[in-house]
Amino acid sequence: MDRASFLTLISPAGQSLLAEVGDLETKTDVLSLVSKLRKAGHSPELVANVLSQARLRRRAQAKFGEFANSMFFTEAGLEQASRLKVAALHAGRFRAAGVTNVADLGCGIGAETLAMASLDIEVSAFELDEVTAAIAAYNLASFPKVTVDQADVTKLELTQYQGFFIDPARRELDGPSRETTKRKFDLQDLSPSFEFVLEIAKSKPTIAKLGPGIDHRDIPEDAEAVWVSDNGDLVEAGLYFNSVRRSDVSRAAILLTPTGSHEITSSKRSRTDAPIGEISDYVFEPDNSIIRSHLIGDLALANDLHIFAPEIAYLTGDRQIESPWLKSFKVIDNLVFDRKKLKAYLRERSIGTLEIKKRGADITPEQLRRELDPKGPNSATLIVTRVGSTHRVLLVESLK
């Protein structure tokens, strides 16, 4: 979104049209709606901007709930914005540490600042992009203890702040409209740089939101690393420094569910490996926060489970386990991974609906499904993986 588009949206005409369009449902006949709005005398540019914003607001409901209907978004800003329930975890750490004044360095559209301000924390929010800063200012206008400024955070005088929250850009705008994004995986490609993050974290409470794929070797020894999963969707790895860090925790996994939150922690930087054994009657798929945090060994030992191949993140045991961290499957059959035999096996059992999972196997589930060409009224789940040193296909039944 450019400056002119944003100005049209916050104009009286834009606000009125947004209210008229309301919640743009997925089944809405957009062509008919465009025609209706154009006949009412609205300009093509205004109609396009309003409908684009209405779509973004609908998508944003998953992150912001009812707040989304009164906020503005950009495509990239919404993609990178924290979910409010996750931002609340960060804000809670600052409050628990007694930090009452925070600089949000790279605030985006304002999600993190919103969560902190809701806990009565004074926030100075900074954003490099002019339009994104203007959107954040609009979204946060109802909080008297929040200021939003357009600035390069690496050039600010930061000594007056008690603590810092920083979400370095892990994506760069790409394409002619600069609305699509390209993910960055290398810490050296972050903006601001990872060196800047470490510098500001030397002396003050700091929370850095990073991608969940961060290499454990890049995690500073003086940081607590927390991987967060929102109902199975792995959303971030957060690094906590100084007083917002728990002294007895080095690594943690947090799972947020509709019924509550769950956490597994370790005081050690080095991982505990799960024992290896034969595949048993049940297979368990751990939440990705457990896998990324290298806490699968801790989870296995706590539940008397083991893995059946090195570095394969499936657990197995001889009894069903009820755990929010695990998806459970009962093993029905253990087959050699032979495409021709597997196709015949599925045909014999009239299996036409096929879910394919893989781990440690060089396959593409969609391509394998096309090759197997399943037909019939029955359904099944296949796990293509290593068992011991060989590739196998496990026919499993999902247990709710």
pLDDT at residue 185 in the model? 53
Q: What is the pLDDT of residue 171?
A: 52
User: Are 13 and 85 members of one domain?
Assistant: no
The sign of the torsion formed by the CA atoms of 351, 357, 359, 363 equals positive
Q: What pLDDT, on the 0 to 100 scale, is given for residue 249?
A: 98
SS3 state of residue 94: helix
Residues 54 and 82 in one domain: no
Which among 59, 74, 55, 62 is positioned nearest to 5, based on CA atoms? 74
The verdict on residue 69 lying in a domain is no
Q: Is residue 273 part of a domain?
A: no
Q: Are residues 251 and 305 in the same domain?
A: no
Q: Say whether both 301 and 257 belong to one domain.
A: no
- The answer to whether residues 22 and 150 belong to one domain is no
* Residues 167, 137: Cα–Cα separation, whole Å: 18
Residues 120 and 168 occupy one common structural domain = yes
Does residue 352 share a domain with residue 215?
Answer: no
Single residue among 221, 242, 266 that ends a domain in this structure: 266
- The residue segments making up the domain with residue 249 are 78-266
Residue 121 lies in a domain: yes
- In this structure, the answer to whether residues 259 and 287 fall within a common structural domain is no
What is the edge-to-edge ordering of all strands in the sheet holding 260-266?
Answer: 146-150, 122-127, 101-105, 163-166, 206-210, 233-241, 223-230, 251-257, 260-266
**For residue 374, is it within any domain?**
yes
- What is the token pair recorded at 275? 């024992």
In a shared domain, residues 239 and 349: no
In a domain, 68, yes or no: no
- AA identity, residue 105: L
d(CA 40, CA 23): 19
DSSP string of 167-218, one letter each residue: --B-EEEESTTS-EEEE---GGG-BS-HHHHHHHTTTS-EEEEE-TT--GGG
173 and 234 share one domain: yes
The answer to the question of residue 276 being in a domain is no
Same domain flag for 91 and 227: yes
CATH number at residue 200: 3.40.50.150
Q: What is the mean pLDDT of each run of 10 residues along the chain (400 residues)?
A: 91 92 74 86 91 93 93 94 97 98 98 98 97 97 97 97 93 44 63 95 96 94 97 96 98 96 97 95 98 97 96 96 96 96 96 95 94 96 92 93
Looking at residue 34, its pLDDT comes to 86
Residue 329 lies in a domain: yes
Domain boundary among 16, 36, 61: 61
* Residue 66 is assigned to a structural domain of this protein: no
Structural domains of the chain, count: 3
Same-domain pairing of 136 and 245: yes
Domain end, chosen from 266, 294, 310, is at: 266
